[in-house]
Amino acid sequence: MSQTYVMPVEVQVALELASAEEVDIGMARVVALLQRGCDAARVEWWAPDEEGDLRLRAADGAGGGARHRFSLGPAGDVVVVGGRCDHGLAPALVSVMPILRRRCAEERLAGAAMKLARRNETLEEFAALVAHELKTPLQEALVADDASSAVERALDLIDSLIEASRDSRERTCASAAACLEEVLRDLGAVEAEVTAEVTASLPFPPVSLRVILRNLLRNAVAAGARHVDVAAVRSPGSWRLVVDDDGVGLAAVGYRAGSGLGLSLCRRIAARYGGELALAPRPGGGTRATLQPAGAS
C-alpha cells in the first residue's frame, strides 16, 4: 500500500523563501502557504522600511477576526487574522527566520552596491560636465588682457554645477525668466537675436534650469542660428520649455543631433526632476528643443 508524502509546512516555507528571486516574492509565497495552513482569514507580513517603521509588504486572504502577531526579529512580524494558530506555525516561522535574515542582508548589500555605483557615475558625469562648461570661460581668460571677469564666471559656473549635481529630493520651482536672464549674462555677446516669453516657473532648482538653458542656447548659436526663441508655459497639469532656433538643423553635419556631451548630461539632469529633453527638426528649418514632463506627448 503506497503512502503519499506530505511535506511539512516548515520545509515548504523554507524552500519557497530560499528559491525566490526576491525577498518580497518569497515572503508573498510564504504568507499564502501560512494562510492555507492556518485556515486563516488573512495573513500579513510587516517589515521595517528605511526609517525603521513597519510597513505591510505582503498579504493573502481577506476577512477579520482575532489578530495573532509573531515576531521575525529584525525582519518584522507575521500577523495571522482569524483561523487557527496550531503547533505547526511556530516551527514554520522559526525555519523562515535565518533564511529571511540572510536574504534581507543580501538585498541590502546589493542595494548599497548599486547606490555606490550610481554615486561613482554621478561623479564621472560631474567631472565631464565641469570640463565641458568651463572650456569657454577659461579659454577667454587665457587670451584676455584682464582675466578676472572670465575667471569669476568660471568660479560661478563651478558653484552652479556643484549644486546641480546634488541629488536633492527637494522640489523647487525656478523662474524661467530669471534663469534665462542669468544665462544670457553668462554667455555674454552672442551672434543671435534671442526673444523670449518666459513668465512661467518650472519644477527645477534654478541652478539646474540654468545649466540646461545655457547648453541649449550655446548649441543653437554653435549651429549658426541667427534667431533663437525661448518660451516657457505652465498649466495646472503640465509645463513646457521650448527653445526654437533657425540654425543648420539636426540633419546638417554642423549639428550634433543631441549627442554632444552637454546635451547628454542635461538630459540626465532633466530626468532627475521628472523631465525629458528632446530635440526635433522644425518644419521651417532649424531645431526645436523641448523640455517637458517625461512621457508627455
Asked if residue 134 has pLDDT above 70, the reply is no
pLDDT number for residue 1: 47
Model-level pTM?
0.52
- Provide the residue ranges of all domains of the chain, joining segments of one domain with +: 9-113, 171-297
From the candidate CATH numbers 3.40.50.300, 3.40.980.10, 3.40.50.720, 3.30.565.10, the one assigned to the domain spanning 171-297: 3.30.565.10
pLDDT for the residue numbered 230: 95
pLDDT digits (tens, 9 = 90+) for 197-249: 998 999 998 888 988 898 899 888 888 899 999 999 998 888 999 999 998 88
Q: Which CATH superfamily is domain 9-113 in?
A: GAF domain (3.30.450.40)
Dihedral angle over CA of 67, 44, 40, 28, nearest 10: -170
Averaged pLDDT for residues 116-135? 67
Give the pLDDT band of residue 6 (cuts 50, 70, 90).
very low
- Are 9-113 and 171-297 equal in CATH topology? no
Contact 9, 92 (CB under 8 A): yes
Burial readout 27-51 (b: 16 or more C-beta within 10 A, e: otherwise): bbbbbbbbbebbebbbbbbbbeeee
Q: What is the DSSP string of 121-175?
A: HHHHHHHHHHHHHHHHHHHHHHH-SS-HHHHHHHHHHHHHHHHHHS-------EE
Q: Which residue, among 193, 284, 293, has the nearest Cα to 233 in the 3D structure? A: 293
pLDDT of residue 38: 79
Task: Encode pLDDT of 175-190 as tens digits.
Answer: 999 999 989 988 888 8
Quick one: which of 180, 160, 290 has its CA closest to 238?
290
Query: Residue 258: pLDDT band by 50, 70, 90 thresholds?
Result: very low
What is d(CA 286, CA 247) in angstroms, rounded to the nearest whole number? 5
pLDDT greater than 90 at residue 73: no
**How far is residue 225's CA from residue 245's CA, in Å, rounded to a whole number?**
6
Instruction: Give me the sign of the Cα torsion angle 80, 84, 90, 93.
Output: negative
**Distance separating alpha carbons of residues 30 and 203, to the nearest angstrom:** 43
List, for residues 82-118, the tens digit of each pLDDT value: 877 766 677 777 777 888 878 877 777 777 777 777 7
**By C-alpha distance, which of 218, 245, 226 is closest to 134?**
218
Asked if pLDDT for residue 172 goes beyond 70, the answer is yes
Query: Quick one: how far is CA 61 from the chain centroid?
Result: 34
Query: Given this model, what pLDDT does residue 176 score?
Result: 93
Instruction: Say yes or no to pLDDT of 280 above 50.
Output: yes
- Say how far apart CA 14 and CA 234 lie, in whole Å: 54
